[in-house]
């Protein structure tokens, strides 16, 4: 029995807790899942199992091994404690969580988890294609067969990045792997010939780059003519001159009335590297007699719309001169011509107007808008015009009622994305045509406008297109577009975690979205697969526009601190917006706690007179913390603006882990006090602490000032007016920093008063602080005359002399006429509403800032209501140079109390 207990004790010590290991494997490669145990080697008592998705894929029990197809292990290694499992030809359907469990004598000896994941790098390819010179072309870069998503694309030119990396998830293929396509909009120039372009693909910290050169097509210029012929009955040769094209491969096709005619080839190379060819086609007599419209169409690689030249055969091939006629024949011809002219003149008046209107009639489509108008991305509006005389038509574009001019010569068009907040709008006019329709004389003209949307310019605007004939002021047709919505995708910040101010057991998670348009945006919070409810939005959390028209908003969600401190809780937020093709997701980075920063402590060490500054940073997580020391340059005044300058020599002791999820650190700065100049001694030092849990850094200030005590007069100056208002003043000279004064007055007990302080520089150059307090006494109960006291307390003294010298003559108070009006209206104020009282308060706030407030002091005696207490006025002066506050008191003489009674 003792032996069995001893064996159990030994096995319990050998038991290891479950652990998690991640193994990555390439597709179709063998992957070994480790499971190593140190312990007894008796295989008869061992039981080993590998479990995936709740079912065993390999099992060893009672010295018998059972293993599924696609897996293998070496039983001979069990003796040495190696129970590793090999996955043969790893694939996507074999990845997941595997659990290795080893039992010895029915006791769990070992348990571990291994995650198998597949890592497949993409295959990069760029299809070869012809691009057209100085026209918009789309280049595509294919990344195929990668896993897991996503991948990032960027494009280079001669090794320099021309498009920054952007990330895309791609699309899954039938085999489970992913495929993605990167696009680049390019306007090739002649400088791009034989230049190396590259497509870079990033996937799982690996980079692949594929370089290639562009094959640029130079569009040709085409001119159609005929060879002269001496007779109408012989064949006619057409000439089509094709010049300045590249590459050499080109096909020229002749068409007659839309029917393709066969052609012979012939080309020659120019000195500039381009080619020239002249193609001929001989029309038969019947084809020449047929007449009509002939065309020379040139097809080139990569050119979507072939270049062509067309002409009427009657214009190119005028008929030969008729043979000489006899006199009788000439007379007959003259009579016939006169008859035809008369008939023509007779019919001309009836048919000319109708014919002219028919030729001038135009069919104009509406303004066609792009499907999505995105800030910073080019959009195009188009109008199609059909008619018989569109070659004489001109168009004018307007934004609302403002004419639009072509700014493409001053603003670059080569980039697909241009700055959305630029100072100049981008507009480029396009005119295509006239295009001839087959089978009739109708022509088509396409007028379009390319623009870069800007919210400040295009929000709520419409485009107008006015169609008129060249040389005419009359507008034939005007088309107005519908209002369009400008889209701007939001920029989403990371999730910021911070403790709630009202409840330290809750963690507030905040995510911000900026630079989006329109203002409709949705935040959805999730926690381990379940959707959370965000905190009720405040007024500031709703989308708010900035000066450029973009919106910003934020969303908050709160969780108990205990949940996040576990470390396994996962919270993420999904941001949805109409400008996004897919929602943007942000995840938490783990538990975060805000640091507590103490005030700056200082001492001077001897004998080198080194100034030591220190700041304690406690209770923060994670451990990454940054401290910056800044020097303040003080001005002549205590509240002057200070200039910041970065200091060197700061050190951080720590961080030291005080609890499983708490750290503390000490930031120090050493400076030699003997090297501090006079100006610098008047400044100070700032300790700025930055941490990932802080939306803004925490700052602590230490002032390096020379403390000097102010000169305080021995008594308070007082001056009473005929209306019973007393003005008490005290003048302090010198002192650094500025002292603080607190006035109080009353009988047995004192009440705090409102005073006015002004600071000036005296004749001797020293700072003078003048504090003045005005009051009046009352014996009325506060509950009975509260309204009248409130009215009186609102009175102010508008005089600078009362502040400068209370003993001066001619102290002016509020205009007596205003006092009289106030006395006359006091009787009617009881019937006024609370709205009138609020308006009085508002007007009270609008008083001049230099006016002196009159305090009301109640001196009603507690023993006898008919008597009033003795007035006492006291001022408290505090300063860093004083260990205790200094007081000055004025007490009302007894004879004044008797006189007032």
Per-residue pLDDT at 179 exceeds 90: yes
Distance CA 18, CA 626 (A): 37
* Tokens at 186, concatenated: 């390019």
898 falls in which pLDDT band (50, 70, 90)? Answer: low
Per-residue pLDDT at 421 exceeds 50: no
Region label for 666, one of left (φ > 0), alpha (ψ between -120 and 50) or beta (otherwise): beta
Statement to judge: residues 571 and 662 lie in one domain: no
Element (H, E) at 354: helix 327-360
Based on its alpha-carbon atoms, the radius of gyration of the chain, rounded to whole angstroms, reads 46
Residues paired with 113 in a beta bridge: 20, 99
pLDDT, tens digit (0-9, with 9 covering 90-100), for 511-565: 889 989 888 899 888 887 556 666 544 434 578 888 888 898 988 888 777 776 6
- DSSP per position, 586-637: EE--S--BPPEEPPPEEEEETTTTEEEEEEEEEEEBSS-EEEEEEEEE--SS
Highest mean pLDDT among 235-244, 256-265, 563-572: 235-244
- pLDDT value of residue 290: 82
CATH number at residue 43: 2.60.40.10
Statement to judge: residues 223 and 310 lie in one domain: yes
- Of 840, 864, 745, residue with least CA distance to 792: 840
Within 541-592, strands assigned E span 544-545, 551-560, 571-577, 584-587
Per-residue pLDDT at 487 exceeds 50: yes
Residue 697 belongs to a domain: yes
Statement to judge: residues 696 and 607 lie in one domain: yes
pLDDT, tens digit (0-9, with 9 covering 90-100), for 623-657: 889 999 888 765 545 554 465 677 777 888 888 88
Q: Which residues contact 52 (CB under 8 A, 6 or more apart)?
A: 96, 97, 98, 99
CB 698 within 8 A of CB 855: no
Statement to judge: residues 763 and 865 lie in one domain: yes
Residue length of the chain: 901
Q: Which residues contact 84 (CB under 8 A, 6 or more apart)?
A: 32, 33, 34, 35, 36, 73, 74, 77
Q: How far is CA 598 from the centre of its chain?
A: 35
What is the SS3 assignment for 439? Answer: coil
What does the DSSP 8-state code read for residue 370?
Answer: P
What does the DSSP 8-state code read for residue 355?
Answer: H
What is the SS3 assignment for 65? Answer: strand
* Tokens at 331, concatenated: 């007379």
Per-residue pLDDT at 202 exceeds 80: yes
pTM across the whole model = 0.35
Dihedral sign computed on CA atoms, order 305, 309, 314, 320: negative
Q: Tokens 């010298």: give the residue.
A: 805
CB 288 within 8 A of CB 317: yes
Alpha-carbon distances, residue 807 vs 114, 719, 732, 798 (angstroms): 92, 6, 17, 16
Per-residue pLDDT at 53 exceeds 90: no
pLDDT, tens digit (0-9, with 9 covering 90-100), for 560-598: 777 766 656 778 889 999 989 899 998 876 667 788 999
Q: Are strands 55-61 and 64-67 parallel, antiparallel or unpaired?
A: antiparallel
Respond yes or no on whether the N-terminal peptide bond of residue 329 is cis (omega within 30° of 0).
no
Of all residues in the chain, what percent carry a pLDDT higher than 70?
76
Residue that is last in its domain, among 216, 248, 270: 216
Q: At what angle do helices 786-793 and 816-826 cross, to 10 degrees?
A: 160
Give the residue, 560 or 819, on which the prediction is more confident: 560
Residue 821 belongs to a domain: no
Segment 359-366 long-range contacts (CB within 8 Å, at least 24 positions apart): 359/388, 359/389, 360/387, 360/389, 360/469, 360/476, 361/387, 361/388, 362/386, 362/387, 362/390, 362/393, 362/467, 362/476, 362/477, 363/387, 364/467, 364/477, 364/479, 365/479, 366/479, 366/481
Statement to judge: residues 377 and 472 lie in one domain: yes
What is the SS3 assignment for 58? Answer: strand
Within 158-264, strands assigned E span 160-168, 171-172, 178-186, 196-203, 206-213, 215-217, 221-226, 236-245, 251-256, 259-261
Residue 39 belongs to a domain: yes
Statement to judge: residues 465 and 386 lie in one domain: yes
Residue 826 belongs to a domain: no
Distance CA 100, CA 117 (A): 17
- Of 216, 214, 206, 204, residue with least CA distance to 162: 214
Dihedral sign computed on CA atoms, order 672, 674, 678, 682: positive
* Tokens at 224, concatenated: 């159609």
Statement to judge: residues 693 and 727 lie in one domain: no
Residue 16 belongs to a domain: no
pLDDT, tens digit (0-9, with 9 covering 90-100), for 358-371: 556 778 888 888 88
Per-residue pLDDT at 674 exceeds 80: no
Our separate counts of H helices and E strands in the chain read 12, 65
Residue 883 belongs to a domain: yes
Statement to judge: residues 155 and 192 lie in one domain: yes
Per-residue pLDDT at 348 exceeds 80: no
pLDDT, tens digit (0-9, with 9 covering 90-100), for 82-106: 889 999 888 888 888 999 998 888 7
Statement to judge: residues 146 and 268 lie in one domain: no
Domain extent for 137:
123-216
Statement to judge: residues 135 and 113 lie in one domain: no
Residue 567 half-sphere exposure toward CB, CA atoms < 13 A: 4
Statement to judge: residues 627 and 574 lie in one domain: no
Section 260-276 average pLDDT: 75
Per-residue pLDDT at 141 exceeds 90: yes
- Of 481, 424, 427, residue with least CA distance to 456: 424
Q: How many domains does the chain have?
A: 7
Statement to judge: residues 127 and 200 lie in one domain: yes
Residue that is last in its domain, among 172, 198, 216: 216
CB 621 within 8 A of CB 590: no
- Of 168, 122, 163, residue with least CA distance to 26: 122
* Residue 632, phi then psi, degrees to nearest 5: -105, 135
Residue 66 belongs to a domain: yes
Residue 832 belongs to a domain: no
Residue that is last in its domain, among 316, 344, 375: 316
CB 114 within 8 A of CB 98: yes
- pLDDT value of residue 325: 60
What is the SS3 assignment for 854? Answer: strand
């Amino acid at each position: 029995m003792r032996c069995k207990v001893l064996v159990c004790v030994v096995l319990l010590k050998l038991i290891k807790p479950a652990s998690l290991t991640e193994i990555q494997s390439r597709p179709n490669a063998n992957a070994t899942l480790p499971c190593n145990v140190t312990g007894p080697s008796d295989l008869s008592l061992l039981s080993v199992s590998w479990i995936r998705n709740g079912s065993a894929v390999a099992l060893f029990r009672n010295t018998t091994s059972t293993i599924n197809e696609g897996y293998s292990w070496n039983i001979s290694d069990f003796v040495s404690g190696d129970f590793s499992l090999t996955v043969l030809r790893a694939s996507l359907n074999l990845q997941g969580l595997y659990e290795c469990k080893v039992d010895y004598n029915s006791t769990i000896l070992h348990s571990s988890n291994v995650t198998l994941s597949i890592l497949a790098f993409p295959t990069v390819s760029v299809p070869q294609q012809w691009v057209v010179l100085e026209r918009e072309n789309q280049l595509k870069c294919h990344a195929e067969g990668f896993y897991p998503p996503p991948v990032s694309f960027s494009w280079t030119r001669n090794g320099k990045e021309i498009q920054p990396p952007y990330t895309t998830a791609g699309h899954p293929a039938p085999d489970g792997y992913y495929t993605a396509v990167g696009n680049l909009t390019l306007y090739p120039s002649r400088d791009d010939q034989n230049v190396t372009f590259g497509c870079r693909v990033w996937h799982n910290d690996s980079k692949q780059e594929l370089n290639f050169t562009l094959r640029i097509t130079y569009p040709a210029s085409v001119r159609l003519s005929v060879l002269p012929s001496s007779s109408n009955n012989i064949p006619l040769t057409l000439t089509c001159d094709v010049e300045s094209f590249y590459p050499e491969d080109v096909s020229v096709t002749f068409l007659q009335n839309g029917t393709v005619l066969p052609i012979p080839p012939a080309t020659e190379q120019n000195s500039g590297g381009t080619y020239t060819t002249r193609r001929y086609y001989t029309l038969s007599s019947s084809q020449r007699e047929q007449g009509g419209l002939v065309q020379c169409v040139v097809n080139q690689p990569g050119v979507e719309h072939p270049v062509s030249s067309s002409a009427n055969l009657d214009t190119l091939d005028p008929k030969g001169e008729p043979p000489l006629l006899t006199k009788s024949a000439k007379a007959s011809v003259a009579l016939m011509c006169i008859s035809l002219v008369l008939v023509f003149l007779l019919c001309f008046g009836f048919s000319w107007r109708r014919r002219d209107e028919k030729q001038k009639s135009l069919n104009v489509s509406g303004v066609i808008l792009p499907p999505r108008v995105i800030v910073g991305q080019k959009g195009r509006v188009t109008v199609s015009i059909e008619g018989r005389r569109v070659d004489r038509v001109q168009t004018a574009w307007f934004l609302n009622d403002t004419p639009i001019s072509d700014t493409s010569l001053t603003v670059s068009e080569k980039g697909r994305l241009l700055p959305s907040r630029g100072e100049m709008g981008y507009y480029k006019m396009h005119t295509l045509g006239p295009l001839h329709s087959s089978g009739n004389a109708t022509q088509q003209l396409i007028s379009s406008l390319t623009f870069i949307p800007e919210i400040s310019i295009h929000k709520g605007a419409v485009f107008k297109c006015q169609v008129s004939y060249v040389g005419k002021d009359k507008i034939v047709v005007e088309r107005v577009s519908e209002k369009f919505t400008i889209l701007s995708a939001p920029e989403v910040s990371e999730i910021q975690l911070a403790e709630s101010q009202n409840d330290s057991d809750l963690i507030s998670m905040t995510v911000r979205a900026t630079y989006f348009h329109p203002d409709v945006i949705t935040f959805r919070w999730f926690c381990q697969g379940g959707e959370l409810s965000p905190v009720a939005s405040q007024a500031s959390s709703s989308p708010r526009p900035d000066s450029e028209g973009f919106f910003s908003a934020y969303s908050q969600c709160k969780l108990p601190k205990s949940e996040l401190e576990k470390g396994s809780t996962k919270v993420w937020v999904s941001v949805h917006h109409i400008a996004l093709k897919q929602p943007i997701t942000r995840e938490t980075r783990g538990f975060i706690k805000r640091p507590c920063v103490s005030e700056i402590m200082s001492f001077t060490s001897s004998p080198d007179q080194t100034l030591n500054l220190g700041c304690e940073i406690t209770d923060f997580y994670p451990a990454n913390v940054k401290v910056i020391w800044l020097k303040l340059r003080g001005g002549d005044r205590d509240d002057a603006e200070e200039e910041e300058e970065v200091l060197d020599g700061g050190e951080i002791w720590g961080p030291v882990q005080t609890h499983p999820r708490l750290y503390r650190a000490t930031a120090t700065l050493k400076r030699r006090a003997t090297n501090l100049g006079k100006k610098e001694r008047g400044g100070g030092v700032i300790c700025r602490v930055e941490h990932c849990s802080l939306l803004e850094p925490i700052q602590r200030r230490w002032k390096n000032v020379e403390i000097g005590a102010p000169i305080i007069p021995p008594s308070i100056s007082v001056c009473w007016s005929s209306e019973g208002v007393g003005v008490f003043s005290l003048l302090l000279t010198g002192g650094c920093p500025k002292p603080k004064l607190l006035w109080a007055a009353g009988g047995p007990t004192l009440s705090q008063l409102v005073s006015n302080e002004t600071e000036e520089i005296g004749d001797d150059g020293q700072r003078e602080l003048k504090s003045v307090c005005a009051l009046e006494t009352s014996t009325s109960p506060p509950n009975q005359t509260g309204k009248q006291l409130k009215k009186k307390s609102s009175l102010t003294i508008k005089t600078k002399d009362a502040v400068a010298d209370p003993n001066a003559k001619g102290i002016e108070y509020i205009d007596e006429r205003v006092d009289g009006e106030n006395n006359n209206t006091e009787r009617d104020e009881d019937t006024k509403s609370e709205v009138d009282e609020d308006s009085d308060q508002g007007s009270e706030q609008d008083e001049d800032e230099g006016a002196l407030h009159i305090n009301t002091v109640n001196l009603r005696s507690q023993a006898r209501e008919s008597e009033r207490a003795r007035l006492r006025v006291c001022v408290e002066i505090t300063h860093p140079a004083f260990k205790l506050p200094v007081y000055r008191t004025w007490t009302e003489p007894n004879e004044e109390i008797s006189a007032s009674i």
